[in-house]
Amino acid sequence: MFQSIRHSQWFSNLTTAIIIGYAIVLGIKTSDSLTGSFDFLWFYLDLAITLYFLFEVVVKISVDRSEYFKDRWNIFDFLIISITLIPISESEFMMIARLMRLFRVLRLFQSRPELKNIIDMLISAIPSIIDIVILMFIIFYVYGIVGSFLFGSLPSGLWDNLFISMLTLFRILTFEDWTDVMYEAMELNSLYWIYFVSFIIITAFVFFNLFVAVIIGEMENLRDKSSGSTLNVLGEKVDNENSKIQKLESEISEMKAMLKELVERERRGES
């Protein structure tokens, strides 16, 4: 029974619907005016959802068995369900339990393979993203030191030290009133616009495009892997069909030989 439930489409769709519904309930519970008189209802609803998730874990473990804990997403599921089952509602860890219940929404990635593939793609892109972040930090550090030396005397205090200068550079990177910062610096020297424009070109245009390039590259790798796995599955199916055809041909050949032998025996009997 668990085997048919585990691989049925309605079970996957029901899990997705319950996760989305639970996310909506969490949003409603942030409003005291909507939840004040329905505390008992939210309690039993949360209990019912917890029991369903527990049932889902039992079904998956019963079917997949040793393969279940080889998937990190399944481990994530199991940990969240286990923590939310601990009766700590009246203890000092109540906030942790609530946060763990909030993480149930992330189980949507597990129930939807497309979302799971996107998250796996982003995780695989982390090493390349870290390299880009390190390069960007070096640019921030160098420009922060130069800006502190050049504009430290400005009355706005945006360049008083390295840390504040780097925060100001981040503000410039987000294009938040960056022209006001530039025009204030240009009061000292009209050529200081080169500092700001060059920083924006290097960071906003070059590095952001590097982020996009890394993500696109990982998406292409994911697509190649999925297409390769699809080709492998199709190849296995073709091999299976070829083996079946060869088996049928050998059986037909054996039947022809048997018929030929029977015909020869009949002829010998008549003679």
**CATH number for the domain including 88?**
1.20.120.350
Report yes or no on 268 lying in a domain.
no
Residue 74 sits in the same domain as residue 134: no
Residue 197 near residue 172, CB atoms below 8 Å: no
Task: Provide the whole-model pTM.
Answer: 0.56
What does the pLDDT look like over 196-215, one tens digit per residue? 999 999 988 888 888 888 88
Measure the CA dihedral 195/200/202/205, to 10°. -160
Report yes or no on 258 lying in a domain.
no
Tokens 């860890």 belong to which residue? Answer: 93
Which long-range contacts does 168-171 make (Cβ < 8 Å, 24+ apart)? 169/140, 169/143, 169/144, 169/199, 169/203, 170/140
Taking the chain, what is the end-to-end CA distance rounded to the nearest angstrom?
Answer: 64
Residue 68 sits in the same domain as residue 132: no
Average pLDDT over residues 211-226: 78
Confidence of residue 239 (pLDDT cuts 50, 70, 90): confident
Residue 63 sits in the same domain as residue 157: no
Residue 15 sits in the same domain as residue 107: yes
pLDDT at 91 over 60: no
What count of Cα atoms within 13 Å lies in the side-chain half-sphere of residue 61? 11
pLDDT at 271 over 60: no
Domain containing 191 equals 126-225
Average pLDDT over residues 216-237: 70
Burial of 227 (0-12, 13-18, 19+ CB in 10 A): exposed
Residue 90 sits in the same domain as residue 145: no
Residue at which a domain ends, from 111, 143, 167: 111
pLDDT given for residue 110 in this prediction? 61
Confidence of residue 37 (pLDDT cuts 50, 70, 90): low
Residue 103 sits in the same domain as residue 130: no
* Total number of domains in the chain: 2
pLDDT given for residue 185 in this prediction? 92
pLDDT given for residue 77 in this prediction? 76
pLDDT given for residue 111 in this prediction? 61
Give how far Cα 65 sits from Cα of 37, 97, 139, 247, Å: 43, 27, 50, 35
Q: Going by C-beta distance under 8 Å and a sequence separation of 6 or more, which residues neighbour residue 229?
A: none
Confidence of residue 247 (pLDDT cuts 50, 70, 90): confident
